[in-house]
Structure 1
Amino acid sequence: MADLIYQKISSSLREKIDNNEFKEMRLPDERSLAEEYGVSRSSIKRALLSMSEQGIIFKKRGSGTFVNPLYSKEETYFNYSGNNLGISDSFKNEGQKLGIKVLRFDVVRSNEEMQHNLFLKPGEFVYSFERLRFLDDQPFMIEAGYIPIKLVPELTEEIASESIYNYIEKELGKEVNKSYLTISVEPSIEESQKLLNLSANEPTGLMSGIFFLDDGTPFEYTSMKTHYKYFKYNSFVDMGNG
């Protein structure tokens, strides 16, 4: 419950930041925020710490807490935060409608690569699926994923047509909150050009890697090809504790 409280506060504050509700880019002090949200100051501290670690806000000693000016300036589309790293929750869509179309949904025997990446034994089966993601009915991502059947025994194509990560969080009480991703750019192939409405000379952004459950179990091995117009990210580096 404590996790849910600070996540809701962080989400609310980010929404206010996106709506330019803080004059001079300055947030109220912790006491005022605690009174506004009706929670303890420890919950406010945790929410602010989370936002600070993401580079959304920063504290200026003796002056208060401020919005990072680059956060609102940069048009970053993915904003991984909280305990759920699913695309549906992490996409900074600013009110735009997200959609998913399942292109393929199968059950297959894991190969050597899947076994290595998902810590499976020979002969274990995985869900193999491909999905096309939309933003306001415009395709922007082709996602190919592999999930061990033993982790989500009742996964269906219908569930895969929405957020799988929200499903396992709600129905199974599990969270996907760690990932190891490789990010690169590659020439688009004919399939990508057709699905993402790209011309032959336009590239795709590629994210590939492994997503982990909160207990460290590898949950999904995935590859995500993104339309180049939506392939933009920010990185916040804090070496203050080094």
Structure 2
Amino acid sequence: MLKYISVANSLKEYIEHSNLKQGDRLPNVLTLAEDYNTSKTTIVKALEILKADGLIYQVQGSGNYARLPKRTGYINFQSNLGFTTNLHEENLSSQSVSVTSIAADTELAEQLQCAVGTPIYHVERTRTMDGKILCLENSFFNANLIKYLNQEIAEGSIFKYLTDVLDISIGFSDKFFKVRELTDYEAGKLALTAGQPTLDAHEVFFTNDGIPFDYSSNVYHFENADFYLQTQQK
């Protein structure tokens, strides 16, 4: 994992677990560089990640300050680190987990920028939070990049496995949203009725080098899923 990403992750944990309030000032760049035994450039790059994730705001000539914490149970659509990181304080679990090996069809080949027929891991999970169904998740991983994936791994945090075990640096993602009606299959998985509304969020995840490795669809339970998004002027 790149140093500035590791520092950013550590700073995120510090901000989220230190009970900082809106407007609390973080240590300056020089102090952080000394604390993490790294360069000021690395700290600046790490702070840019925190700013993009809505955890801090920067005042020119003054420093970096904490933003208001997120509402409990709300999904952050700015995050690209997966549900387990996003909702780490909630009782998040996976049910009806299946992992199958398939070959990429035309759509998957286009989304993952690979050849038709490329081996793919298809993971389907029903995600629950505090005992309530949150969404039906279907993820498609390029098996040429994600060399191994099984049900035991899929029952936990896949992204933690990717970063900690496979040493994959997750860079960014593209998200696409559509409000539509549930199919019969989706309704059965969500304990709803076909034709009821859902938010279908499609996302393509890229490594730090810009290589797509995961194409996912999350079909959300309209009664149990809440979202938030922070904005800032460029």
- The bucket for the TM-score relative to the shorter chain is 0.7 to 0.9
SS at match of 2:174: strand
* C-alpha spacing 1:150/1:52, structure 2 compared with 1 (3 Å): closer
Q: CA deviation at 1:153?
A: 2.8
Asked if structure 2 preserves the Cα contact closer than 8 Å seen for 1:34 and 1:41, the reply is no
| Range with greater deviation from structure 2 (147-156 or 54-63) | 54-63
Structure having the higher helix fraction is: 1
Asked if structure 2 preserves the Cα contact closer than 8 Å seen for 1:144 and 1:223, the reply is yes
SS at match of 1:232: strand
Deviations 1:135-179 (A, max 9, x none): 122220111122222222322122222222221222221122221
Deviations 1:168-219 (A, max 9, x none): 2222211222211101222233333333344567522211132112222221
Superposition pairs for residues 184-223 of structure 1, below 5 Å?
A: 184-198=178-192, 202-223=196-217
Is residue 2:136 matched to residue 1:138? no
Pair member with larger Rg: 1
Q: CA deviation at 1:47?
A: 4.2
Is residue 2:9 matched to residue 1:15? no
Q: CA deviation at 1:237?
A: 3.8
Q: Which of residues 215, 225, 230 in structure 2 aligns to 1:230?
A: 225
Deviations 1:110-141 (A, max 9, x none): 21112222222233221222111121222201
Q: CA deviation at 1:72?
A: 4.4
Q: Aligned-residue CA RMSD in angstroms? A: 3.1
| Paired residue total | 230
Distance 1:115 1:28 in 2: 44
- Structure 1 partner of 2:49: 50
Q: Which of residues 81, 87, 104 in structure 1 aligns to 2:83?
A: 87
Distance 1:185 1:231 in 2: 14
- Structure 2 partner of 1:30: 28
Percent of aligned positions that are identical: 22
Q: CA deviation at 1:234?
A: 0.5
SS at match of 1:150: coil
- Structure 2 partner of 1:168: 162
Q: Structure 2: where are the runs of 5+ without partners?
A: none
Is residue 2:121 matched to residue 1:121? no
Distance 1:127 1:230 in 2: 26
Distance 2:141 2:55 in 1: 32
* C-alpha spacing 1:216/1:48, structure 2 compared with 1 (3 Å): closer
TM-score (norm 2): 0.80
* C-alpha spacing 1:199/1:32, structure 2 compared with 1 (3 Å): farther
SS at match of 1:212: strand
SS at match of 1:114: helix
Distance 1:67 1:7 in 2: 15
Q: Structure 1: where are the runs of 5+ without partners?
A: none
SS at match of 1:151: coil
* C-alpha spacing 1:219/1:150, structure 2 compared with 1 (3 Å): same
Q: Which of residues 72, 77, 81 in structure 1 aligns to 2:75?
A: 77
Counterpart AA for 1:238: Q
Is residue 2:76 matched to residue 1:68? no
